[in-house]
Amino acid sequence: MSSAEQPVVLTCAQPTGQLHLGNYFGAVRNWTSFLDSHECYFGIVDQHAITMPYVPAELRQSCYKTLALYIACGLEPEKCNLFLQSHVIGHTELAWILGCLCPLGQLERMTQYKDKSARADEGVFIGSGLLYYPVLMAADILLYNADVVPVGEDQRQHVELTRDLAIKFNATYSDTFKVPSLNIPKHAARIKSLQDPTRKMSKSDPNQGGVLYLLDEPNIIRKKIKSAVTDSGSEVRADDEKPGITNLLHIMSASTGRSIEELEAAFAGSQYGAFKEAVAESVVDLLTPIQERYKAISEDKKYLEGVMKAGADAAQKRAYKVLSKVSRKAGFVERPR
């Protein structure tokens, strides 16, 4: 475990039970870069997962799977605290207090809320938890008084709300929260769908052939990359007019650490077919050790529960301090001992 003087990193993600290459390059691999220099808290936000219709038994399974995947991707439990949000008392409690400071209109204007609640038209039930989602996320962040909160571009508005709420709390009561700065990695490879390279690779893509999952078998990876859409012409070159080939170049570059220029030079004169085979092998080489580690731990519930417990204990220790301070400032009577 990291020593107390190190800066604190906190980030969270939903328990999807599946990760694709875009999640890996855009998020999880980036998180591993903090392990040796920061005290790290990585949360699996199961309480956020119930803001849309879901199946309880699947949620539970997904939490185990997501945890095993994170460990397999290199988030070693010896170097970071991996925890489930619902195991730490304080997230929902702080969300309540922050919610009482948060103007209703600001929540109604959040783009994710507007997008997701539009599904009411399809008959999807929309509960108030969805409206409250960003307040719970603000609580996740502020409860740890973290120095760094790495998130993707799609979370910008949520982190801005978190900053507003931290400032509002500090002004209303007294200085309590560090106002988190936005930490959106600019250089993170933006991986697109193999079938529509103008769109982000996404788990909810109706065309699943465009999505490379970390647990896809090598032959599935090869098949998906072989069927990836390419562009007219025959040159292997990164270019706005060649989104398909550009995406494959980014995937291979992120998988191997070789630069785009280096790859363009290496495949000058190659056919698309040969290039695609090389891309596929680079992805298979990257994923094989991750899949092996996953296989070794994913069925070991005892081990995973031990990791969850250690993570939750450490997270709780830090969260408790902030929660007690906040409760006192909010005017709650200290719990009699």
Catalytic residues: 116, 200, 203
Contact 132, 107 (CB under 8 A): yes
What residue ranges in the chain does DSSP mark as E strands? 8-13, 39-44, 81-84, 149-150, 182-183
Going by the DSSP 8-state scheme, the letter that residue 25 receives in this structure is I
- The packing angle between helices 56-72 and 301-330, to 10°, is 100
Position 110 contacts ligand TRP (CB under 6 A): no
Query: Is there binding between residue 215 and ligand TRP (CB under 6 A)?
Result: no
Beta carbon of residue 265, minimum distance to ligand TRP (angstroms, whole number): 36
Q: Which residues contact 232 (CB under 8 A, 6 or more apart)?
A: none
Q: What is the CA radius of gyration of the chain?
A: 22
First and final C-alpha spacing in the chain? 31
CB of 94 to ligand TRP, least distance (A): 12
Smallest distance, Å, CB 335 to ligand TRP?
26
CB atoms within 10 A of CB 228: 23
Give Cα 329 distance to the centre of its chain.
32
Note whether 161 binds ligand TRP by CB under 6 A. no
Q: Tell me the C-alpha distance between 134 and 124, whole Å.
A: 20
By CB under 6 A, tell whether 46 contacts ligand TRP.
no
Whichever of 14 and 247 has its CB closer to ligand TRP, that residue is 14
Smallest gap from residue 59 Cβ to ligand TRP (A): 15
Q: Which positions from 113 through 142 interact with ligand TRP, judged by CB under 6 A?
A: 137, 140-141
The DSSP H or E segment spanning 278 is helix 272-298
Of 96-104, 150-158, 202-210, 325-333, the window that binds ligand TRP (rule: CB under 6 A) is: 150-158
Q: Position of tokens 């990836």? A: 228
What burial letters (b/e) apply to 258-281, b meaning 16+ CB within 10 Å? eeeeebbeebeeeebeebbebbbb
Q: Does 151 bind ligand TRP (CB under 6 A)?
A: yes
Rounded distance between C-alpha atoms, residue 96 and residue 315, angstroms: 19
Q: Does 82 bind ligand TRP (CB under 6 A)?
A: no
Q: Which of 2, 8, 9, 11 binds ligand TRP (CB under 6 A)?
A: 11
Q: Return the range that interacts with ligand TRP (CB under 6 A); candidates 54-62, 147-155, 284-292, 300-308.
A: 147-155
**Residue of 48, 87, 242, 250 interacting with ligand TRP (CB under 6 A):** 48
- The binding track of 264-283 with respect to ligand TRP, each residue x by CB under 6 A or -, is --------------------
Interface with ligand TRP, residue 155, by CB under 6 A = yes
- Residue pair 330/108 in contact by the 8 Å Cβ criterion: no
Letters for 217-256 (x = contact with ligand TRP by CB under 6 A, - = none) are ----------------------------------------
SS3 103: coil
CA atoms of 142 and 178, how far apart (whole Å): 8
Q: How many residues does the chain have?
A: 337
Question: Quick check: 322 binds ligand TRP (CB under 6 A)?
Answer: no
> Applying CB under 6 A, which of residues 2, 14, 62, 193 lies at the interface with ligand TRP?
14
Nearest distance from C-beta of residue 77 to ligand TRP, angstroms: 19
Nearest CB to ligand TRP, comparing residues 9 and 263: 9
Q: Which residues bind ligand TRP (CB under 6 A)?
A: 11-14, 45, 48, 137, 140-141, 149, 151, 155, 158
